[in-house]
């Protein structure tokens, strides 16, 4: 019987333009061994996050590029199956950054967080609404957006994992909230279930600048931007006085082989509207994770915030699942169950 029972997806080619299956190679290796102070994790779920495409590029980023020939990585939920570490007992579940493989070794340092066992909360929620995704929406909207009753809010990537929560938080603050999304079904979901006031299918809008001018006659007060590029430019053309632009992501550039900072024509509007544009990384807010978890947990339990998961299954499909994010094929937080 073969003892090569640890499947891995190696990262073997840096994509130029869209990522595809040829960037990865599946191999099988032996079970890892551990020393004192280490644990073996059995990965249960892989999280798929838009920024993963940027980790495949060389050049400056907030994380080191994935190394060619090494396994691809993502945030995972994993069970501790062997431990020589006093703080990480066998049977506990951890969230952390791990390789695309069945079994990973960790020393518990860095991003390797024990999860609470809360009955009635599906484990996968800790990757989504009650994890980095929800925290991103919360800190971006609350800390940078600072919404006030009656303000006009635009969210791009609105039907995605981060965007759908960001808009619902603004609704809880009494704002007028408009979303941009890439299909009729996504737009209907935003209005009918998430409580957005309006949703625009940007793929069927020839003149987004003009459309936004009609929807926001007094200008946009808060723009929660997940997309960047031309969408950001259209929003800039329509910002109101003292607007806040939350630069959360720039997915329109990630898979296009372009630098995300594609030419922006309307940055002048920041000056004449005395507006602010601020980027942020959710990792910088982790010391306030309990605050976000309490806010999101309460509003999800009350039904004030709804959250959609898109769970695919099977280790072998990891590369094709990754592609879904950049084609808009996911409906909610994209997760792979191994
Ligand atoms: N700052 C932080 O710390 C932080 C943390 C987490 C995530 N983020 C950012 O948040 C954003 C959302 O990430 P997510 O993981 O929640 O993904 P997601 O929104 O669930 O999925 C990505 C969605 O983006 C849209 N999209 C894809 N390509 C696009 C394009 N070229 N133009 C416009 N829209 C496009 C698609 O929806 P449509 O069908 O609507 O096009 C797709 O479903 C990303 O930009 C990510 O980098 C930032």
Please indicate, yes or no, whether residues 156 and 257 belong to a single structural domain of this protein.
Answer: yes
CATH number of 17's domain: 3.90.180.10
pLDDT reported for residue 263: 82
In tens, the pLDDT along 69-124 reads 999 999 999 999 999 999 999 999 999 999 999 999 999 998 898 987 777 788 99
Q: Are residues 169 and 65 in the same domain?
A: no
Whether 303 is in a domain gets the answer no
Which residues in the chain belong to E strands, given as ranges?
6-11, 24-29, 39-47, 73-83, 93-99, 103-106, 112-114, 152-155, 176-181, 198-201, 220-225, 239-247, 276-279, 309-313, 333-337
Q: For ligand 1, which residues put their CB under 6 angstroms from it?
A: 49-51, 133, 136, 157, 159-163, 181-183, 186, 226-227, 248-252, 280-282, 325-326, 328, 330, 334
Claim to verify: residue 113 and residue 206 sit in the same structural domain: no
* pLDDT tens per residue across span 50-75: 999 999 998 888 889 999 999 999 99
In the reported structure, the alpha carbon of residue 4 is separated from the centroid of ligand 1 by a whole-number distance in angstroms of 36
DSSP summary character for residue 287 = G
User: What's the total number of domains in the chain?
Assistant: 2
Establish if 316 belongs to a structural domain: yes
CA atoms within 13 A on the CB side of 264: 19
Q: Is residue 296 part of a domain?
A: no
What is the per-residue pLDDT across 206-255, written as a single tens digit (0 to 9) for each? 999 999 999 999 999 999 999 999 999 999 999 999 999 999 999 998 88
Whole-model pTM? Answer: 0.94
Q: Do 89 and 198 sit in the same domain of this protein?
A: no
**Is residue 269 domain-shared with residue 327, that is, in the same domain?**
no
- Helical H segments across the chain, by residue range: 52-55, 132-139, 161-172, 184-192, 208-215, 229-236, 251-254, 268-272, 289-302, 318-326
**Contact predicate 332/261, CB 8 Å:** no
Considering the domain architecture, whether residues 100 and 205 belong to the same structural domain is answered as: no
Residue 225: give the domain boundaries. 132-283
Please identify, by atom number, the ligand 1 atom nearest to the C-alpha of residue 229: 32
Better-scored residue on pLDDT, 332 or 175: 175
**100 lies in the same domain as 156:** no
State whether 41 and 25 are in the same domain.
Answer: yes
User: 211 alpha carbon to ligand 1 midpoint, in Å?
Assistant: 22
Domain end point (choices 266, 283, 300): 283
- What mean pLDDT value characterizes the chain? 94
The verdict on 239 and 187 lying in the same domain is: yes
Q: Is residue 322 part of a domain?
A: yes
Pairing mode, strands 103-106 and 39-47:
antiparallel
Residue 286 DSSP symbol:
G
The pLDDT value recorded for residue 1 is 43
288 part of a folded domain? no
Structural domain includes residue 95 = yes
How many Å lie between the centroid of ligand 1 and the Cα of residue 302? 26
The answer, yes or no, to whether residue 47 has pLDDT greater than 80, is yes
| 266-285 mean pLDDT | 96
What is the reported pLDDT for 120?
Answer: 77
For residues 182 and 208, the answer to whether their CB atoms sit within 8 Å is: no
Residues 177 and 197 in one domain: yes
Is 294 domain-assigned? no
**Residue 282 Cα, ligand 1 centroid: separation in angstroms?**
14
Split at pLDDT 50, 70, 90, the class of 259 is low
pLDDT above 70 for 189: yes
And the tokens for 337?
Answer: 């169950």
Instruction: Return the pLDDT at 59.
Output: 82
Q: Does residue 79 sit in the same domain as residue 97? A: yes
């Amino acid at each position: 019987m073969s003892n090569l029972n640890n499947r891995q997806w190696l990262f073997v080619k840096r994509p130029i333009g869209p990522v595809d299956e040829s960037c990865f190679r599946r191999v099988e290796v032996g079970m890892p061994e551990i020393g004192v102070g280490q644990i073996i994790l059995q990965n249960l779920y892989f999280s798929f996050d838009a920024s993963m495409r940027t980790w495949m590029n060389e050049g400056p980023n907030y994380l080191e590029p994935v190394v060619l020939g090494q396994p691809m990585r993502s945030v995972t939920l994993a069970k501790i199956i062997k431990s020589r570490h006093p703080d990480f007992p066998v049977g506990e579940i951890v969230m952390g950054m791990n390789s695309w493989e069945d079994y990973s070794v960790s020393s518990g340092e860095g991003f390797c967080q024990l999860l609470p066992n809360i009955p009635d909360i599906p484990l996968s929620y800790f990757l989504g609404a009650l994890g980095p995704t929800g925290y991103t929406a919360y800190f971006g909207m609350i800390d940078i957006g600072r919404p006030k009753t009656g303000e006009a809010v635009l969210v791009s990537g609105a039907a995605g994992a981060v965007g759908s929560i960001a808009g619902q938080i603004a609704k809880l603050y009494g704002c007028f909230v408009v979303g941009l999304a890439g299909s009729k079904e996504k737009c209907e979901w935003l209005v009918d279930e998430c409580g957005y006031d309006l949703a625009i299918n940007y793929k069927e809008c020839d003149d987004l600048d003009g459309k936004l001018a009609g929807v926001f006659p007094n200008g946009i007060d808060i723009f929660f931007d997940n997309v960047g590029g031309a969408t950001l430019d259209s929003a800039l053309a329509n910002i109101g006085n003292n607007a806040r632009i939350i630069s959360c992501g720039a997915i329109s550039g990630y898979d296009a082989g372009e630098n995300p900072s594609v030419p922006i024509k309307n940055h002048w509007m920041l000056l004449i509207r005395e507006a602010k544009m601020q980027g942020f990384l959710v990792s910088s807010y982790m010391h306030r994770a309990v605050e976000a978890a309490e806010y999101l947990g309460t509003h999800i339990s009350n039904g004030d915030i709804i959250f959609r998961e898109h769970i695919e299954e099977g280790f072998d499909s990891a590369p094709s699942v990754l592609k879904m994010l950049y084609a808009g094929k996911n409906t909610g937080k994209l997760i792979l169950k191994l």
